Structure 1
Amino acid sequence: MSKDFPSSKFERGSRIAKTGLKVGTNYAKRYLRKKSGKENSDSDSDFHSENAKEVFKEFTNLRGTALKIAQGMSMDQGFLPEEFAEVMTQAQYSVPPINKALVRSIIKRELGAYPEQLFESFESEAFAAASIGQVHKAELKDGRKAAIKIQYPNVRENIDSDLGLAKILVKRIVKKGADIDPYFNEVKKTLLEETDYKNEGEQIELFRDRFGGLNIVMPEWIQEFSTDKVLCMTYMKGRHLGEFLKEDPDQKMRDHFGQLLWDFFHQQIQDMDYVHADTHPGNFLFTYDGKLGVIDFGCVKKFPKEFFMDYLRLLPTHLEDDKDAIRELYEKLNVINPNSDDPDDEERYFKFARNYGMTFAEPYKYESFDFGDEEYRNTIKYFTKDAPIGNEPRGSQHFLYTTRVHLGLYNLLMKMGARVNTTRSKEILSGMLDVDFGELVE
């Protein structure tokens, strides 16, 4: 087994526990210094960043579930100090690949032969490496170009132990007494699905059937060379967002791809089916013939209908600024606690969340909305960085993924500086919620 990839439960557990103990001790010492007046809040930012770097370094070496947790930490859920989230964003892309010999042995074990025997050609250097697997280019013997995703060793087998140890670490950081179990249970459920590559292959086919004929393209699942730990799919040409923006595309091109992303998001809502729940730049391609490529289907979610409809109802209630209806939905979705011991604190959070919701609803006020507007981007940035939550998780556990989808979409559109037409999206939502968006924004 590769020395640079600890895959046994004992070794992984020891390293996570050691990291957790070190970080926990750092926080405990700091708490005592603060109580004695020997340290002020001015040093908070550096302190959180240094501890986050310690966690990130170890989680990157561990990859797998540990790195997935780091990716989750990079999304603003109100769990963690913002400096933690800032450092953890690196988990989306700064992952070293495993060595070539290990790659060959995984393919031999899973597919029954070495890559040079199975494929016309196979590139031993991975062209993409993420939290639970890495991707290699290959050419099949029938001439098709393929992308082969290989899962790191023992990722699925270590989910329980990794999550258990990560929970201990997170409990040292979040507010004392906070109930984090529902969130970890949701993460576990999703990870079990993400580490089943056969399930991902089936999702690829499902999405191809749903969106075939639109300007959305997905790879084709090649079952012959796929198992639950190796995924073979056709290779898609295109560029990721960063490469696309380096080409300095004109506004028309930015708007074109932005509209495809916006419409893809709303079409998924209308279907009330599985939603692509990992909306970050690495999972989308901008093809050279003007289509939007979607290339990763590990994280897809089918939300409970009651939660999903309540989540959608937040939009018209915020557009109408119906405070009573907003409060009722917030209580139902566990965003605010009507029985809190600190009603003043709860009211402060209600006002913050309501204003945040109003900001998210803003694009639907117009027939066309410019996500490149600097003032709007600064407002979103303010809310995602300055939530007055005190390291306390809030809201249904399903917000872990609706936030990833929704905030991810807005971040993509803002980076693109895209202008989108909202007419069709409002028609979709009007039909689902039985509301007239024209009346709401007059």
Structure 2
Amino acid sequence: MSDFPSSKYDRGKIFAKTGLSVGKNYAKHYLKNLRGSDEQRNSEFYNQTAQQIFSEFTKLRGTALKIAQSLSIDQGLLPDEFSEVMTQAQYSVPPINRSLIRSIIKRELGSYPEVLFESFDTEAIAAASIGQVHTARLKSGEKVAVKIQYPGVRDTIASDLGLAKSLFKRFIKNKEDLNEYFEEIESTLRLETDYIHEGETINRFHNRFSTDRFETPRWIKEYSTERVLTMSFLEGEHLREFLERDPSQEEKNAFGQKIWDFFHEQIRQSDEIHADTHPGNFLLTEDGKLGIIDFGCVKNFPDEFFIDYLLLLPTHLERDLDKIKTLYDRLGVLKGDPETNQTEKKYFEFCLNYGFTFAMPYENDTFNFGNPEYREMIRGYTKNAPIGNEARGNKHFLYSTRVHLGLYHFLMKLGATVETKKSRDIVEERIGEAIV
């Protein structure tokens, strides 16, 4: 492919006539041309601005950081520099002090931790945007995890949303379209900061997914409130710890297969989707199961959106341009006709190529996520949207994309090769059930 196709659907015709290798080369060529644009022009300005916002939001803690993550990480709504800076919120929030922890537990559970528990570790094992986690032992001797919400987090959602909206509107086009994204974030945050709701979700996932392949904690209801959540503690290795011991390729593949299968098993059951595919939320248990440990962000996607989202896979694999365009219209990706509007044509071509790249793992029966060429393609498309900083697409993309890209990034860090035929069948069966 020495020449870049110029007519409006020439590239799609190439997809329809050729296999994976040509499609991959096409997508790579498109990306190379895309990167020829002046992508560094505002980088320094955006980075400095993002650092300033992150610094202020870290002081605020709570939902301000969650809002920034939701809008910036892998979504393309904000400049890429925001994504890189806001990712720090997963790791860089300092824990609150011990005396405040004791007073929160006293207020919420009626007694101080040393009275309620056989033991309670005042050093947090994790601290993030909404709360921090401590280990403890019940009087029965069972080890548990106790998640404690930062004071006033739920009360700051509305004000934080207003602050974030006023800041981010400076960088986002079509500001009138931004409100529905903020409404989606607000509704999700209100559930994510209700630990009773999360506890009930933990129990549902425990009943559905505690099998010979997956393990989830149990909710300890009597030691939980809306702001304190106690659950059974899962022992195991997180991704970083797993990789530090230099596992074999077979071990990497087995770990990767488990998280790949968990994602698609959720699609098969079609109820709820764990929407925070961050490495810190998954571990490999001592008996070789996939442990899932955080259920604050779990989504029930509307059937109408979810089926259209799933349909993106077979339509891209089949290179069916008419069906792809129809889906893009329904999902709000296009705002005009790419045949007559040059802006929409540019956006359509980008999404078409990115969609094909995204569908590549399903093309054959196995896929190697450790392939550095594929990692570079995914990274290139997420960082080089030709029409950036614009609110486009159904609001539910905020979390569906977060789930799917999070899965890919996990597997790429792991360097796993996974079997994908069964998962492709699951997607097709789920679509078929809905269409019938």
TM-score (norm 1): 0.87
1:309 equivalent to 2:307? Answer yes
C-alpha displacement at 1:220, in angstroms?
1.1
Q: Is the alpha carbon distance of 1:118 and 1:236 closer, same or farther for their aligned partners in structure 2, counting shifts above 3 Å?
A: same
Pick which of 209-218 and 258-267 moved more: 209-218
- The aligned counterpart of 1:192 is 190
- The aligned counterpart of 2:56 is 58
Q: Match of 1:274, as an amino acid?
A: E
What is the rounded CA distance, in whole Å, between the counterparts of 1:340 and 1:86 in structure 2?
A: 32
1:38-87 deviations in whole A, cap 9, x for unaligned? xx985521111111011111111111110111222441222111111111
Q: Which residue of the other structure, out of 422, 425, 433, is the alignment partner of 1:424?
A: 422
Q: Would you say the 8 A contact 2:133–2:145 is kept in 1?
A: yes
- The aligned counterpart of 1:357 is 355
Q: Which residue of the other structure, out of 114, 117, 121, is the alignment partner of 2:112?
A: 114
Pick which of 327-336 and 70-79 moved more: 70-79
- The aligned counterpart of 2:142 is 144
Q: Match of 2:262, as an amino acid?
A: F
Q: Would you say the 8 A contact 1:70–1:91 is kept in 2?
A: no
C-alpha displacement at 1:213, in angstroms?
1.8
- The aligned counterpart of 1:233 is 231
Q: Would you say the 8 A contact 1:178–1:392 is kept in 2?
A: no
Secondary structure of 2:155's counterpart equals coil
Pick which of 169-178 and 419-428 moved more: 169-178
Give the 5 Å matches for 1:250-329: 250-329=248-327
What is the rounded CA distance, in whole Å, between the counterparts of 1:94 and 1:301 in structure 2?
A: 26
What is the rounded CA distance, in whole Å, between the counterparts of 1:399 and 1:291 in structure 2?
A: 29
C-alpha displacement at 1:430, in angstroms?
2.4
Secondary structure of 1:254's counterpart equals helix
- The aligned counterpart of 1:243 is 241
Q: Which residue of the other structure, out of 60, 63, 78, is the alignment partner of 1:80?
A: 78
What is the rounded CA distance, in whole Å, between the counterparts of 1:66 and 1:433 in structure 2?
A: 37
What is the rounded CA distance, in whole Å, between the counterparts of 1:238 and 1:393 in structure 2?
A: 39
1:387-431 deviations in whole A, cap 9, x for unaligned? 112310111000000001000000000000001111211221222
Pick which of 42-51 and 379-388 moved more: 42-51
Q: Match of 1:231, as an amino acid?
A: L
Q: Would you say the 8 A contact 1:156–1:195 is kept in 2?
A: yes
1:291-310 deviations in whole A, cap 9, x for unaligned? 11100000000000010000
Q: Would you say the 8 A contact 1:78–1:394 is kept in 2?
A: no
1:107-162 deviations in whole A, cap 9, x for unaligned? 00000000011011111111100111100011111100011000001111111111
What is the rounded CA distance, in whole Å, between the counterparts of 1:374 and 1:78 in structure 2?
A: 22
- The aligned counterpart of 1:67 is 65
Q: Would you say the 8 A contact 1:120–1:138 is kept in 2?
A: yes
Q: Is the alpha carbon distance of 1:340 and 1:324 closer, same or farther for their aligned partners in structure 2, counting shifts above 3 Å?
A: closer
Q: Match of 2:170, as an amino acid?
A: R
Structure 1 gap segments, 5+ residues each: 1-39, 436-442
Q: Which residue of the other structure, out of 114, 121, 124, is the alignment partner of 1:123?
A: 121
Q: Would you say the 8 A contact 2:317–2:363 is kept in 1?
A: yes
Q: Is the alpha carbon distance of 1:54 and 1:342 closer, same or farther for their aligned partners in structure 2, counting shifts above 3 Å?
A: farther
Secondary structure of 1:158's counterpart equals helix
Pick which of 420-429 and 46-55 moved more: 420-429
Pick which of 174-183 and 164-173 moved more: 174-183
Q: Would you say the 8 A contact 1:277–1:299 is kept in 2?
A: yes
Q: Is the alpha carbon distance of 1:342 and 1:427 closer, same or farther for their aligned partners in structure 2, counting shifts above 3 Å?
A: closer
The list of structure 1 runs, each at least 4 consecutive aligned residues, that deviate by more than 6 angstroms after superposition, is: 339-342
Secondary structure of 1:157's counterpart equals helix
C-alpha displacement at 1:340, in angstroms?
9.0
What is the rounded CA distance, in whole Å, between the counterparts of 1:293 and 1:84 in structure 2?
A: 30
Q: Would you say the 8 A contact 2:144–2:230 is kept in 1?
A: yes
Give the 5 Å matches for 1:293-442: 293-338=291-336, 343-434=341-432
1:264-322 deviations in whole A, cap 9, x for unaligned? 00010011101000001111111222111100000000000010000000100000111
C-alpha displacement at 1:176, in angstroms?
5.1
What is the rounded CA distance, in whole Å, between the counterparts of 1:262 and 1:429 in structure 2?
A: 13
What is the rounded CA distance, in whole Å, between the counterparts of 1:306 and 1:43 in structure 2?
A: 39
- The aligned counterpart of 1:32 is none
Secondary structure of 2:42's counterpart equals helix
C-alpha displacement at 1:341, in angstroms?
13
Pick which of 401-410 and 162-171 moved more: 162-171
Which structure exhibits the higher relative contact order, with contacts defined as CA atoms closer than 8 Å and separated by 6 or more residues?
2
Q: Match of 1:284, as an amino acid?
A: F
Aligned sequence identity (%): 59
Q: Would you say the 8 A contact 2:39–2:384 is kept in 1?
A: no
Pick which of 165-174 and 328-337 moved more: 165-174
Secondary structure of 1:403's counterpart equals helix
Secondary structure of 2:154's counterpart equals coil
What is the rounded CA distance, in whole Å, between the counterparts of 1:141 and 1:264 in structure 2?
A: 33
Q: Match of 2:293, as an amino acid?
A: I
Pick which of 207-216 and 150-159 moved more: 207-216
What is the rounded CA distance, in whole Å, between the counterparts of 2:99 and 2:269 in structure 1?
A: 44
Q: Which residue of the other structure, out of 24, 42, 47, is the alignment partner of 1:49?
A: 47
Structure 2 gap segments, 5+ residues each: 1-37
1:326-345 deviations in whole A, cap 9, x for unaligned? 01100100011126999211
Q: Would you say the 8 A contact 1:76–1:384 is kept in 2?
A: yes
CA RMSD of aligned residues (A): 1.6
What is the rounded CA distance, in whole Å, between the counterparts of 2:224 and 2:362 in structure 1?
A: 42
